[in-house]
Structure 1
Amino acid sequence: MFGYTLAAVLLATGMARAADEIKIGEINSYSGLPAFTLPYRNGWQMALDEINAKGGVLGKKLVVVSKDDGGKPADAITAANELVSSEGVVMLTGTFFSHIGLAVADYAKQKKVLFLAAEPLTDAVTWSKGNKYTFRLRPSNYMQAAMLAEQAAKLPAKKWATIAPNYEYGQSAVAVFKELLSAKRPDVEWVSEQWPPQGKIDAGAVVQAVAATKPDAIFNVTFGPDLVKLVREGNTRGLFKDRTVVSLLTGEPEYLDPLKEEAPEGWIVTGYPWYDIKSADHDTFLKAYQAKYNDYPRLGGKGVMVDFVYLDGAKYLPSDDVVKKLRPQD
């Protein structure tokens, strides 16, 4: 993700296991957002194949047991419980939507099981609602908003509007961007906030409402099909003409590619320019991904291409001992 490989620590709990394998439990919204989660699955499947081809982990075959949460926190908790209680997984990983990540993080705290959150961006996962059993792979809302706020502060724009999906991720992203930009630019004014429901945006109404406030710039947090509808409607109605847009995630190919010739130009975005990252590690990943799938990677695929880090002299340890290794400062 952004050219680096993310790391997870894999060790077993004290529960009985099949002698020849170690299981990881993976949960994600495959049916809810396939454009992102299917490349993500490609990434972990490639990592899994490579690890097992080299002898597995601690001399044992690594197995991923995957479940679809359907985009629902309750289903994610049911899946987590089945994975831990019935499948005997040694850790949980995955989740996409922030509110689902928070639900699984709370489950991990209650059950004292390691949880590596793959995609949720809300800061609460590791901050206000974090716990010692939960770790995150991706840069959080704060990290990405800070990058964007730094660039936004250089713009002459004073009047800002925001558009974000009305759930944990969108709410968290808008709050931190407003805080950071206002600190850098006390003269900015927030003239409009639009909160369309995730996956159900009425783009025409949103564009009309934003345009009515005549902002100098827009902070956008929508993604996926909602982003496509917003860009299409905004282009048609001239919302983006002579107006700066700062946009979270829009530079990720999962969200940029569906726009095709309608893709906006000149927006300030976070993303994954897979074609322009120059590093030996990324070159290796890119070649392997293209060879295996005959396609270029998306951020989801890169983000979960994990290295498994072995603790020196480690054998099977309970989760609390793993946490001590991961959090030596605690």
Structure 2
Amino acid sequence: MADIKKIATRVSYGNTLVELAQQGADNLVVFDADLAAATKTEIFRKEYPDRHFDCGIAEQNMVGVAAGMATMGYVPFVSSFAMFVAGRGFEQIRNSIGYPHLNVKIAATHAGLSVGEDGASHQCCEDIALMRSIPGMVVLSPADDVEARAAVIAAYNYQGPVYLRFSRLATPVFHDPETYEFQIGKGEKLTDGYDIAVISTGLMTNEALRAAVLAKRQGMNVRVINMPTIKPIDEEIILTAARECGRIITVEEHSIIGGLGEAVCSVVSEKLPVPVRRIGVMDQFGHSGPANEVLRDYGLTADNIVNVIRDIVRPDAKA
């Protein structure tokens, strides 16, 4: 069997910026905060150096400059680690981009625990909550290379502020680029099943797919729903899952506070109450270590997901 291709979505981001420029996006400009090698905007800088601006370690200033460029008809992509651009730059994003509803795209790489060895100071598990709270902000969290490329293109074409969440860790590519279609605000049913629905986002979608395979071997049929748009959330696919499956698990590489899980809970609690179990970071900071080991320590693996599935679907069964 051929090896599964793995690509970090931050690399997808850098490559797609170049593709957009090559295809005629003459108004696209890119800003970075002294991290172009890590965010992969260096790919764009190499091809279009006159449209790439390094603002240094000054994220708030970078956001303000990008807002000004947007008022002049440009489409700025501002880039840094999630901790720095969403965390440090929150006030400027809210007041200079969100409030005037400017056409700026915030590209946050190195999100979640999978930053690994960089530790808690860099492991941003609060960014989705922060960006969801800004009125009019679209929040995207793609799961693989194909979806990330499509999300960047969709963000460019969308008129208004967009937050894009990318990972440092290389993840398996499971979408077919020939058939995949991305639409802001739409989820995607990857597997069918009626015992329980698992709704996931970002790199956790691959773990959810693996968990569904493990669960099927144990006689449990799991519906896996990939949710690349956290805001606006796809209420229709959530409510259909609630109606047909009766139970939902959410999985995210983010705090359970303010993220995908709470977005799903808001929908079902108001419109079709069913039990929801959230898998994510449980109101705690991360710690340093190899990315896959850190994810395991916080229960963000297929093995833990299938354990939770079994606890809910077969509460009387022994592991």
Q: TM-score, normalised by structure 1?
A: 0.34
Q: TM-score, normalised by structure 2?
A: 0.35
Structure showing greater radius of gyration is 1
